Amino acid sequence: MRSLRQLIRASEIGIVLLAALVGVAAGLAVVVMNAATQAMHEFIFRIPLDAHLSITSGMAPALLLLGPTLGGLVFGVGSWLATRRATAPPVDPIEANALHGGRMSLKDSAIVAVQTMFSSGVGASVGLEAGYTQAASGAASRIGQAVRLRRADLRLLVGCGAGAAIGAAFNAPLMGAFYGFELVLGTYAIPAFVPMMTASFTASLTRQILQPTPVPVLPALDPPTLGDWPAVLLLGLVCALVGIAVMRGVTLVESGFRRSALPQVLRPAVGGLIVGALALWNPAVLSAGHGAVYHFIVSGDSFTVLGLLLVAKVVASSVSIGSGFRGGLFFASLLMGVLAGRAYGAGLDLVLPGLVASHAFYALIGMSALAVAVVGGPMTMTLLALEITGDLKLTLAVLAAAATASLTTRRLFGFSFTTWRFHLRGENIRGAHDVGWLRELTVSSLMRREVPLVDADAPLAQACRAYPPGSTPYLVASEKSGFYAGMVSTTALFEAEAESDGKADAPATLRALLTHAGETLAPGMTLRDALATFSRVEADALAVVDAERRIVGLLSEAHAVKRYSDEMARRLGEITGEPLD
Integer Cα distance of 376 and 94 in angstroms: 12
Distance CA 258, CA 115 (A): 21
> Hey, which residues does 242 pair with through a beta bridge?
none
Fold for 226-424, please state it. Answer: Clc chloride channel (1.10.3080)
Whole-number Å distance between alpha carbons of 255 and 55: 31
- pLDDT (0 to 100) of residue 426: 60
Q: SS3 for 100?
A: coil
Superfamily of domain 438-568: CBS-domain (3.10.580.10)
Domain ranges in the chain are 2-217, 226-424, 438-568
- Closest to 243 in 3D by CA, of 386, 423, 366, 327: 366
Same fold, 2-217 and 226-424: yes
What are the φ/ψ torsions at residue 509 (nearest 5 degrees)?
-130, 175
* Residue 111: per-residue pLDDT: 94
Let me know if domain 2-217 sits in CATH 3.40.50.300: no
If phi > 0 it is left, if psi is from -120 to 50 it is alpha, else beta; for residue 18 that is: alpha
pLDDT at 86: 79
d(CA 362, CA 38): 30
Residue closest to 68 by CA, chosen among 112, 126, 13: 126
Q: Are 169 and 293 in contact (CB under 8 A)?
A: no
Task: Name residues whose C-beta falls within 8 Å of residue 196's C-beta, 6 or more positions apart in sequence.
Answer: 19, 156, 159, 160, 163, 177, 180, 181, 185
The single-letter DSSP state of residue 227 is: G
Per-residue pLDDT tens digits of the chain, which is 581 residues long: 666 666 666 677 888 999 999 999 999 999 999 999 999 999 999 999 989 999 998 999 999 999 999 999 999 999 999 888 877 788 889 888 888 888 999 999 999 999 999 999 999 999 899 999 999 999 999 999 988 888 888 999 999 999 999 999 999 999 999 999 988 988 887 788 999 999 999 999 999 999 988 777 777 777 788 878 898 999 999 999 999 999 999 999 999 998 988 999 999 999 999 999 999 999 999 998 888 998 898 888 889 999 999 999 999 999 999 999 999 888 899 999 999 999 998 898 888 877 766 788 899 999 999 999 998 889 999 999 899 888 888 889 999 999 999 999 989 988 888 777 776 666 666 666 666 666 778 899 889 888 899 888 888 888 888 888 888 888 899 988 889 999 988 888 888 877 766 565 567 788 888 888 889 999 988 888 888 899 888 888 999 999 888 999 999 988 888 888 887 777 666 666 565 44
Query: What's the pTM value of the predicted model, to 2 decimals?
Result: 0.83
